[in-house]
Structure formats: structure tokens, C-alpha cells
Chains A and B, each alone.
Chain A
Amino acid sequence: MSTHGEAATIGLTHGGSEDTGLGQRGPASKSIVVPYGFWLFILSDMVLFSALFATYASLVHATDGGPITNQLFDRKLVAVETLALLISSFVCGLAMITAKRKNLMWTQIWLVLTALLGLAFLSIELFEFSKMIGEGAGPQRSAFLSSFFTLVGCHGAHVTAGLMWIGTMMAQIWAKGFREDIMRRLLCLSVFWHALDIIWVAIFTIVYLIGTLP
């Protein structure tokens, strides 16, 4: 899906309607169809994460005598991590604004910054993972840790995919400019990036905050 949500939309350019109502005026235009399809994809991704959250919730106490949440998580580290991701979302919004104004330099700068903050988030996550594995609290230790690494790791994998997507989009903007299809892709990218934030807020709350309650 990622860079391809915006595949061509068949003969709609003639009389394609901007109507967002019940579609009584004929097929909607690409600028509506593409983001709509991408939102549906995001919805399916949310379902995917909800299954992982359910798994985590049912296995969080299945520690098999191993470490429990309170012994593993460091609130301060996670706070920095969360801040990096949330700010990257804000910066991504700035990139969208400058892209709408067709300002190539600032769009690229904001996108690089988005990616760097995403990379910082990912580095902290990997540092946390390696530290836990080093302490013998790897995913093979217990069902709880299996579900922790899978839930948080799946989010991390999404961030990684997002970073690859940002790189691809930067190259596309640079090579092709702010073409209509490129703008639609940018819009999808920003939706994706913000959706990852929403997932992270849920992870932050359910895994880290509740997990570090005294």
C-alpha cells in the first residue's frame, strides 16, 4: 500500500466531482477517493494494533516468574521518546503547510527533521530493547515479554516503514516537484505519520504508564 494508495482512478477526470455527500453526482474525484481509501487502510491498521493490544492485555500478567512491568520500564526515557515522536508529528504538519505553498526547500527541511525525530524515537526504542534483552528480559523470557516486544516492535516497524516512505517522498518531490499525485501521496504520508502517534499514545498509556504505577 504505502506509496501506492494513490493508484490511478479511471476516467474520472472528466466530470469528477468534489461532492463529499452521498455520491449522487457521480464518481468522486481522485483527491477524495485516494485519501478515503488510505483512511480505510489506516482503519485496518488500527484493527491490527487492537488485536495486539488485546494480546498484550491478556498476557501482561503471564510473566512465568520473570520480570514484571514495574521492574523494566523507565518513565523518563519513555517521556523523551514520546516527546520526540509527538514533535515529529508537529514538524510533519509544518512540512505539509510548506508543501501546499510549494516551497521546496522548507518542505525538504521539515521532512528531514521529521525523519530525524522519528530516527531519535527509534534509537531510544532500540536502546530500551537491547538493554532489556541484555538483562535477560528478552521476548523469549515469558509470554508477557513476547507480547510487549511484539506490540511495541510492531509500532517501531511502522515507524521504520514511515522513515523509508519519507525518504521516497523527498526524492519524489525533488525529482518531480509538487505534482498533484505527489501531493496526494504526501497527504497519505502525513495521515500515516499522525496515526502512528495515536497508536503510540495508546501504547504509552496502556503499556508504560499503567505498567509503572506503584
Chain B
Amino acid sequence: MTLFGRLTWSAIPFDQPIPLITSLVVALALVGVAIWITRIKAWPYLWHEYITSTDHKKIGIMYIVLGLVMLVRGFADAIMMRAQQSLAIGASQGYLPPEHYNQIFTAHGTIMIFFVAMPFVIGFMNFVVPLQLGVRDVAFPTMNNVSFWLTASGALLVNLSLFLGEFARTGWLGFPPLSERAFSPGVGVDYYLVALQISGVGTVLTGVNFVTTILKIRAPGMSYLRMPVFCWTSLASNLLIIAAFPVLTVTLALLMLDRYLGFHFFTNDGGGNSMLYMNLIWVWGHPEVYILILPAFGIYSEVVSTFSGKPLFGYRSMVFATLAICIISFMVWLHHFFTMGAGADVNAVFGIASMIIGIPTGVKIYNWLFTIYGGRVRFNVPMYYAIGFMLTFVIGGLTGILLAIPPVDFVVHNSLFLVAHFHQVIIGGVVFAVMAGYTYWFPKAFGFTLDERIGKWIFWCWFIGFHLAFMPLYVLGFWGATRRMQHISDPTWAPLLNVAFVGAAIIGLGIALTVVQLLYSIKTRERRRDITGDPWDGRTLEWLTLSPPPHYNFAVLPDVHGEEAYWTRKQTAIKEDRLIDEPNYQPIEMPLNTPVGVICAFFASVCGFALIWYIWWLAILGLIGAFAIFVWYAWRDEHEHVIPVEEVRANARERRRIRMEHLHTLSQST
């Protein structure tokens, strides 16, 4: 054993131009950003306002920035795959050798699920849930910061594999025996395992944090059946995190034991059973898709209700459907491998359960439709996504029902039909919701709205691009095209693959336009300022505060009477043409900033990196460092700082003044 384990100069891909040049460009971009931040002297601001912040809103924004950055990386992988499949037909081998292509599809799936979709939904939960519950922060603000940085640490390790070594070539779930050391001796699978273990710890902590927050920290009068639906879906999602993510931790840990210490869980010899891995990983994996889609459903509920100017239709049935999905999602995992051969009875049970889970989802679709029905609908960008979602997601759901029929599944298992199905529900469900939520809550976070016109272009890029990219894959799947092919031998598939490439390119245009929209909106922010804090005529409590809200959200916790806490309050104010009486302000205690999250993630990254490269002494140092930072943090005596009552009162009076002006304009218009 050398000092640096198996890390040598050969780990840098000097002979592979694509990863080498990409890494150099990324490194230059990072250095450029760092120099720019130094020149505008923004490091102290970033350190105090974001990196060490325990403010749920700031942490939410950091999650969403992480998601956006990683979306670009995940999309780069996607367009490379589409290009390869359009080029490597018949005699041509394309431009990506198999070992590189396999890393790309693995990285694409891993990144899109763990470091794009998860940060997005957790980011929205962070930003929105405490505001909607009418409280000042989550239950454990410091732990929240730790969760974020552990997720970021995982993302860092995955991206490091581009420059040092390789990534896994096993597909995004790392199935054994391929992922065992005998068949994947390199560092790729180890990068995958270590990165997911570190970010997985962060996710479990998030789950604990948010279930505690939603069940124990709500404004006075905010009983369960007065919570906005987004809070309900977040609750369900976090319950699933607590129940499912430990299983992922175990599954990956067992594979690590196989790889690092020669255990025999999933090996071909020694009595190992690779199908045990399939069962375990999908016991996590199926709830995982609901962890992603339930908060997305919550976002659509908020958007549809707000922009239809109506309370959500069937609120209670929505809550019931959410919890039904939460429970049934644990009873369908075997439909991912009907072909295992568990027998007709077992397959039938899981097939029927998979179809049953479509029922509460259907209930939700009808609720949204009936909310729109008879409403005074305003077609802002978030509403475009909500309607685009309903059209797209229903088709994705129907192809899912097809796949839930075991005999059909045997035919299209692991084909492009499956690929088209899950992209249809994840892009049409989760990504559209992310884009809707991004547009909807952006003014709350930054105090100005995003440009509507460019926003609509982005929507059409996603909508048209998605359908062009994935509808052909259904057809190709029926023709027999399997997933993850580096080379296409049947030239008759070329036209449809080219259509798919064009679709992916249009989605790429949408992603580029998102950057343009952000820059343009920042440039023209003065004329799209959200003065009132309620730009969409909202119905839930986040629109009660100013945009952006003060650190403590509410000077006094709102008293909730009935569903639609803010809407009721707003209507009463308009009718009586006055605000509620000025409350008795008090000083507010808020948690202090803390560097513990970023330091802890630093040690976790060091330890993870050392494990990947077999640098044992460094791994031990990393662990000791992480433990030391915890003990150091536990030793602190100051937990909170007090915001003096004068400051609270001054801010609150300013808000009341703005609200009064707004109220007068509203009362005059009605």
C-alpha cells in the first residue's frame, strides 16, 4: 500500500479528450467564478448569508441552485447519448466508445435523480413549507444546513469522477453482479456508492427535520386539515424518506462490504444472491419516485388553485389520495422486475397493486380539472406547466398501467418503451412542477418576478421538446429497441432516433433560455418588482409576508382561522377596508449561523474520496475530523441571537404601510 492508495497520475484521463477538455473547461469556469466573487468582494456576503446560514429560505435557494447546475450536467450527458444513438447506426461506431458511453448513461440517471430532482423538491420544501405553515424556520435549522452540505458533498464526488478516474458503468442503480469487484474493479462503482451514501445521510436528516416541522411546528390554529396541500404532500414525501432511505443505505453498504472486504451478499459465488439486491434497492427505489412526485403534485395544487382563483376542489380527497399513495408506494416494488421469475401469483399481486396506485393519482387529476372548471383562470407561466403536466402525465400514467400488466412487461422490459414511460412521468411530472414552482415562488425569494414572455418560450421548449424526444422511444421500444445501447444495428430505427435527438436539442434550448430569462429578469428587475409580497393574488400564508421575507418570516405568528389562511384574512381586510389590529410585538430569537455543515461536509468529502482511492489513513482522519466538529459544535453555549423588538416593530410597520396602500387600490377596484 502506497501513501496515496490506488491514486496515480494515470487516474487523469489524458488519453480521453472529451472528459479531459470538459474538466478543464469546468475548472476554468470555477476559477473564473471564484476570481469574480473575490473581485466584487462577495465572499463574506456568501459566507454569512448563504454558506453558514440556518435560514430555511437561504438553504432552499442553495438546494435549487445546486439542482439547476446539476441539471446542466445531467442534460449534457443526455444530449451526448442522443447524439451517439443518432450517429452510431449500421457501419458507424459514433464518437463514444462503449466504456465511455456506459459511464454517461450511469452518470445521467444518478445525477438526474439524486442531484437534480432531489435537490429541487427538497429545495422547494425548504423554502415554502415553514412559510406556508406560518412559522419562522424548520424544527432543526442547523441540521438543515448539514443536510444541504452533505448533499452537495455527494454531488462534488460524482463530478470529481469526470476528472479523476472514472464513473460507474453499471446503470444508475448499480446492479450486481456487474457492480461487484470481480467485474467492475475500477473506482467507478466506488464513486457511485460513496457519493450516494454521503448524500443519503443528508436526505434522511432532511426527512426527520421536515416530518418534525410539519407535525410539531405550525402557526396557532393551523390544524392538520387546514394545512396547504403542498405541506401535506411534503409530509408524505418526508415520511417516505424516513421509511425508504435507510434501506438504500443498507443496500449500498452491503455492496460496499462485498467490494471492499470480500463479503458474499450479491456475488455469484459463496452463496450470494444478486436478486436480493434488486429487491432491496427497489424497496427504496419505488417509494423514491413518489418522494419526487408527491411534492410536485403539491406544487400543481397550489398553482392550479391560485391561478384559477378558487379553493382547491376536493381538498380532503386530495389529502386522502396523498396518504393512500404514500402507503401503497411500498407495495409495488416488485413490478420493476416481473421478469425475475417470482411466479404468476406474486407478479399478479404486485401488478394489481401497481394499478391500484393509479386510482388516487386519478383522483388528483380530476380534482385539478374541477378546480379549473368554473374558475377565472389566469394563464401565467406556472399555469402553462400545470396544464402541460396534466396532458403529459396522464399519458405517462397510462403507459405505466400497461407496464403493470406482467405479460406486457415481459415483452417491453428494459426496452426504450420503459425509458419513455419513466421520462414521461418524471419530466412531465417532476420537472414541469419544478419549473412551475421556480416561476411561482421566485418573486417571493428575490422580490421580483421572472420574465413571462421568455418563460412561455421555455415552457414550449420543454413541452414540444419532451414529446419529440420521447414519443419516438415508445415506438422504438415496441420495435424491440432495448435501453442503453451504444450502437444501433438496425438502420430503419434511424429516423425516429433523429427525431428524438431534435427533441433533446429543443429541451436544451429551453434550458439555455432559462439562463437567459434569469439574466434578463435580473437586468430588468426594477420594472417587475413585487412590492406587495403577493404578486399572484395568492391564497396561502407565504404571500402574507413581504418579498423577500425577513429572516424571521413573520413579526407575529399568524392566527389561522379556517382553510386558506391568507385568502380568508385578505378578503376580510378588503371587505372591512382595514388590516387586523396591530399586535403586540416582541423580540424574536433566531438560530445563529454555523459553519458546522460546511466543515462536516468537507470532512465527509475527504473521507469519501479517501475510501474511493483506498487511502485508508486519510479516511480515518476524515472520520475523526467529522466527529471532532460535532463535539466542538455540541460544546457551544450560544444557540440563538435576539432580534430587538424595535427592529421587529419597524419592519412590521413598514409592511403594514405597504399593505394598507395595496388594500386601498384593491378596495377601489372592487
Contacts and interface: CB of A to CB of B under 8 A. Distances in A.
Contacts of B524: none
Contacts of A147: 265
A142 interface: yes
A213 interface: no
A79 B552 CA distance: 55
A33 B138 CA distance: 11
Given A47-B247, A62-B272, A140-B261, A23 B590 contact: no
**Interface residues of A, dominant DSSP:** helix
Interface in B235-261: 242-247, 249-251, 253-254, 257-258, 261
B633 A13 contact: no
B276 A58 contact: yes
B509 to A, nearest CB: 42
Contact of B141 (A1, A7, A63): A7
Nearest to A17: B220
A10 B220 contact: no
Given A44-B208, A140-B264, A4 B270 contact: no
B270 A26 contact: no
A133 interface: no
Contact of B557 (A8, A27, A32, A185): A27
A120 to B, nearest CB: 23
A33 B265 contact: no
B142 interface: yes
Nearest to A47: B246
B257 A55 contact: no
A171 to B, nearest CB: 8
A123 interface: no
A22 B223 contact: yes
A11 B588 contact: yes
Interface in A120-160: 139-144, 146-147, 149-150
B439 to A, nearest CB: 29
B341 interface: no
Interface in B614-639: 627, 630-631, 633-635, 637, 639
Given A8-B142, A11-B136, A143-B265, A41 B208 contact: yes
Instruction: Please indicate which of the listed interface residues A48, A172, A176 has the most CB atoms of chain B within 10 Å of its own CB.
Output: A48
B216 interface: yes
A11 B143 CA distance: 16
A181 B272 CA distance: 47
Contacts of B394: none
B216 A172 contact: no
Interface residues of B, number: 73
Nearest to B559: A26
B218 interface: yes
Nearest to B248: A51
Contacts of A11: 136-137, 552, 588-590, 640
B224 interface: yes
A157 to B, nearest CB: 11
B554 to A, nearest CB: 10
A187 interface: no
Nearest to A175: B635
A140 B264 CA distance: 6
B212 interface: yes
Nearest to B258: A146
Interface in B189-236: 204-205, 207-209, 211-212, 215-224
B270 A24 contact: no
A51 B246 contact: yes
Given A1-B205, A26-B219, A142-B270, A40 B250 contact: no
Contact of A55 (B265, B269, B588, B637): B265
A174 interface: no
Interface string A32-71: 1100110011011101100110110011001110000000
Contact of A172 (B250, B634, B639): B634
Interface string A3-28: 11101111111100000001111111
B186 interface: no
B589 A10 contact: yes
A103 interface: no
A120 B479 CA distance: 65
A168 interface: yes
Contact of B218 (A27, A41, A51, A143): A27
A83 interface: no
B262 interface: yes
Given A1-B205, A36-B216, A44-B245, A51 B591 contact: no
Contacts of B222: 23-24
Nearest to B145: A7
Contacts of B93: none
Contacts of B204: 41, 44
Contacts of B207: 40, 44
A64 B264 contact: yes
A59 B242 contact: no
Given A10-B591, A27-B217, A144 B271 contact: yes
B59 to A, nearest CB: 13
B478 to A, nearest CB: 36
Contact of B246 (A32, A44, A64): A44
Interface of A: 1-5, 7-14, 22-28, 32-33, 36-37, 40-41, 43-45, 47-48, 51-52, 54-55, 58-59, 62-64, 139-144, 146-147, 149-150, 164, 168, 172, 175-176, 181, 185
Given A55-B250, A64-B270, 14 more contacts: A9-B140, A10-B136, A10-B589, A11-B137, A11-B588, A11-B590, A27-B557, A37-B140, A48-B250, A62-B271, A64-B269, A140-B261, A146-B257, A164-B627
